[in-house]
Amino acid sequence: MTTLLKIEGEVAKPLELGFEDLAKLAEAHQVGDVSRLDPKRSGDAVTLAGVLSLAQPKASARYLTLHSSRDDFHASIPLEAVRQKAIFIYRLDGQPLPVGSGGPLRFFVPDHAACHLDDIDECSNVKFVDRIELSAERGFDNRPPDEGTHARLHERQKSD
Ligand SMILES: Nc1nc2c(c(=O)[nH]1)N[C@H]1C(S)=C(S)[C@@H](COP(=O)(O)O)O[C@H]1N2
Ligand SMILES: [Mo]
């Protein structure tokens, strides 16, 4: 099994999950056709709550840190704010989500704020997420700190 996501930190059961583990999560944790939530997104997802039900966060877990080792991008956000609404998009047309769509796994909060307007902003919709960490204190976060850095990040992505 190829690991898509490692779950670490303040959890009773640290885990590694693959595509099939996500695909076989209970129906209640599956979100088919995410374009219903945001017309700019496509594919199928599982809920963060479903993933966390496997790892069992401890009561001390207050922050969720999302890591992408592919491009060294990281965001750390308050867990409670997203616990019941965030999802991981993992499948497109029955296949693993392609890199061009932020795959193989993309974190997504449906009603996020624009970049820089909130902790839970569009920048926190981490693409290529391969590890999540639960912690009592805020974890590592290298989202662009200002508009200039943010604009350069977007420029770089256009030329990729
Ligand atoms: N891994 C990773 N995730 C990321 C980013 C990034 O550079 N790397 N950019 C963020 C920003 S600033 C935005 S606006 C959205 C853009 O997502 P899109 O390319 O799917 O439109 O992804 C966010 N997630
Ligand atoms: Mo952005």
List for the chain the helix, strand, coil content (%; round to 5): 25, 30, 45
Tens digits of per-residue pLDDT, 8-48? 999 999 999 999 999 999 999 999 999 999 999 999 999 99
Which residues span the domain enclosing 37?
3-159
Tens digits of per-residue pLDDT, 112-128? 888 888 899 999 999 99
On whether the CB atoms of residues 83 and 61 are closer than 8 A, the answer is: no
The CATH number of whichever domain residue 74 belongs to comes to: 3.90.420.10
Top mutation candidate among 34, 73, 127, 130 for ligand 1, by most atoms within 8 Å of CB = 127
Domain count across the chain: 1
- pLDDT for 55: 98
Q: What is the Å distance from ligand 1's center to 12 Cα?
A: 30
Calculate what percentage of the chain has a pLDDT beyond 90.
91
On whether the CB atoms of residues 87 and 106 are closer than 8 A, the answer is: no
Tens digits of per-residue pLDDT, 59-88? 999 999 999 999 999 999 999 999 999 999
Instruction: Determine if the pTM surpasses 0.95.
Output: yes
In the predicted structure, residue 160 carries a pLDDT above the cut 80: no
